[in-house]
Structure 1
Amino acid sequence: MLYRFKSQATADLIMLRADAQSALRLIGKDITPEGVISPDQLPRAIDILQQAWREDHALRLEEETSALEPLAETDDALPGVRLSQRLVPLVNMLDLAKKAEVAVVWSES
């Protein structure tokens, strides 16, 4: 299942359900099939998601430096894409919407 985020300031953004719901929880939104992030809520939402990114990035760096063995050079050993990396397009969308003073809406598809 997917979530589609829309704004008059940007193209649509499609996210996997789990990632979209995690982002919505972080910014304090109820997990509903449809919803809105109003222009006055955008600055706080951006700050929260950017802070989550910083914390996850610091944790990733700590994990990498504390690893006892270097990663093997195979695809199986590569780390997965973290939520913080998946949040970047959403943060960019929210930022552009904030500059244009328009809402971001989401719908489950």
Structure 2
Amino acid sequence: MIYKFKSKATGDVIMMGPNGDQVLRLIGKEPAAKGIIEVAAMPAAMAAIERAIHDDEDARKQAEAEAAAEGEVLPPREGVSLRQRAWPMVEMMKRAHAAGHEIVWGV
């Protein structure tokens, strides 16, 4: 499945299924073909994503420190980081919240 998140305040954000599922779970929503993020829920959703990004980056730093302590070098991260993947959605939420418009998908 492909998610196409839409808001009257911004351009669309498109995510592949697994990535969209991950972001929805981070904000406390169950992945579904259709849904809405209401304006009142956006500050908590943005905070949840930012916490998850912080936790992801802390885990990477910890793994790098452990590898360095053992005299090894951790291989570079493969693919796109959570920060890079979630940034468009966080920006969409910031703009939609400021304009007072919800974000919908599947409609």
TM range (shorter): 0.7 to 0.9
SS in 1 for 2:43: helix
**1:99 counterpart = 2:102:** no
Aligned to 1:89: 88
1:78 has 2:76 as partner:
yes
| Contact 1:9 1:96 (C-alpha < 8 Å) held by counterparts | yes
Q: Percent identity?
A: 37
Q: Aligned letter for 1:70?
A: V
Structure of greater relative contact order (alpha carbons < 8 Å, 6+ residues apart): 1
Give the alignment's TM-score, normalised by structure 1.
0.84
SS at match of 2:36: strand
* Aligned counterparts of 1:88 and 1:26: Cα–Cα separation in 2: 13
Q: 1:19-98 to 2 correspondence within 5 Å?
A: 19-67=19-67, 68-70=71-73, 77-80=75-78, 81-98=80-97
**Structure 2 residue runs without a partner (length 5+):** none
How far apart are the structure 2 equivalents of 1:85 and 1:33? 23
- Residue aligned with 1:52, SS: helix
- Number of positions where the alignment pairs a residue of Structure 1 with one of Structure 2: 103
Quote how far apart the aligned CAs of 1:8 are.
1.2
Shift of 1:31: 1.7
TM-score of the pair, normalised by structure 2: 0.85
Give the Å deviation of 1:42: 0.7
Q: Is the 8 A contact 1:97 1:104 kept in 2?
A: yes
Distance 2:84 2:58 in 1: 13
Distance 1:78 1:12 in 2: 31
